[in-house]
Amino acid sequence: MNDKSKQKMSGYQSYLIQDNLKYFKPHKTSVTVTFAEELRKTLQEPKKSISPKFFYDENGSKLFDEICSLPEYYPYNSETEILQTLEKKLLPYLSNEFHLVELGSGSSVKTRLLINILFKSQTHLQYFPIDISEILDQSAKNLCMDYENLTVTGVVDTFENGLDFIEHYDDKPNLITFLGSSFGNFNENEGMKFLQKINNLMKSDDLFLIGLDLKKDQQVLHNAYNDSQNITAKFNLNVLKRINDELGADFDLENFEHHAIYDEEKGRVEMYLRSLSDQSITIPKSDLSVTLSKDELIHTENSHKFSISQIDSLLNECNFEKLEIWFDSKNYYSLVLAKKL
């Protein structure tokens, strides 16, 4: 690690778990302040919203894993299918020893498919998971138990902060992965800025592997975000419980319902929490009182779906050269391999 990386990590607590596993976490107080401040802003806007990054407390991460096991949730199944058949297609690009950097690593289950491929071309691997959720701790331990020659350095923080850390780590090439169609959560401008940030910090021999969900039949989309077991609804509502637990708020979860619709014009699934009555809520740590009328919506997530031409122009505008694009057998989902132009 060079001096810039060390400096960047000075606001973090480091946890050395074992020789091949350490991770960095920002001090707890700064995380709580950010959460409280962001809500204070977004819940006072005319169209109220809560950022999707706040879904992922311990319970939220567990619920997301449950979503991934639902038959309706095709993004997980489609991306896994592509990764399972990737070895021969990816190996020709892996002539050097790569580090694996993963944005939003979550439970790192699909990561194993990539780790297996990387171990076909190198004997040791450094893995840098970056995730806002504390789930990173357990996921990293599980990986270290199963892979002898793996060294894990995790960053429990936002994508942006994690990337700043990686940027100055060393001179080895990185395979930077962004799976799970998480990129689709950004709005257009933020997404472009984020891709440009990744592009700017990439070295000429780095690779970028990104999972992008495709436009498709609206019924398939509807079912994926309104599953029959209501797990997505629980996941959505859990963010209110998190606000209660961490910021002392008094949301009554019975007074809200999950609402997810596809907006064809914007090409995205939009997720909301609908207020079932006129009500007012206090969030002491945000120093905020929120009034909601019956049927008012709190926006919690966008999930953009892309056409191939949109993917091409996005990569172009952000200075990437598309090396490959792979699809699942239903053509629901794409995995793009790119490098810096």
Ligand X SMILES: C[S@@+](CC[C@H](N)C(=O)[O-])C[C@H]1O[C@@H](n2cnc3c(N)ncnc32)[C@H](O)[C@@H]1O
- Which chain residues interact with ligand X by CB under 6 A? 53, 56, 61, 64, 68, 104-106, 110, 131-133, 158-159, 179-180, 182
Beta carbon of residue 132, minimum distance to ligand X (angstroms, whole number): 4
Q: How many Cβ atoms from other residues are within 10 Å of residue 284's Cβ?
A: 12
Residue 138 or 277: the one with the smaller Cβ distance to ligand X is: 138
Residue 105 or 286: the one with the smaller Cβ distance to ligand X is: 105
Beta carbon of residue 183, minimum distance to ligand X (angstroms, whole number): 10
Beta carbon of residue 17, minimum distance to ligand X (angstroms, whole number): 19
Residue 63 or 290: the one with the smaller Cβ distance to ligand X is: 63
Residue 110 or 299: the one with the smaller Cβ distance to ligand X is: 110
Beta carbon of residue 96, minimum distance to ligand X (angstroms, whole number): 24
The burial of 151, by beta-carbon neighbours within 10 Å (0-12 exposed, 13-18 middle, 19 or more buried), is given as middle
Give yes or no for a contact between 231 and 66, defined as CB atoms under 8 angstroms apart: yes
Residue 178 or 251: the one with the smaller Cβ distance to ligand X is: 178
Q: What are the tokens at 324?
A: 């490959």
Beta carbon of residue 123, minimum distance to ligand X (angstroms, whole number): 26
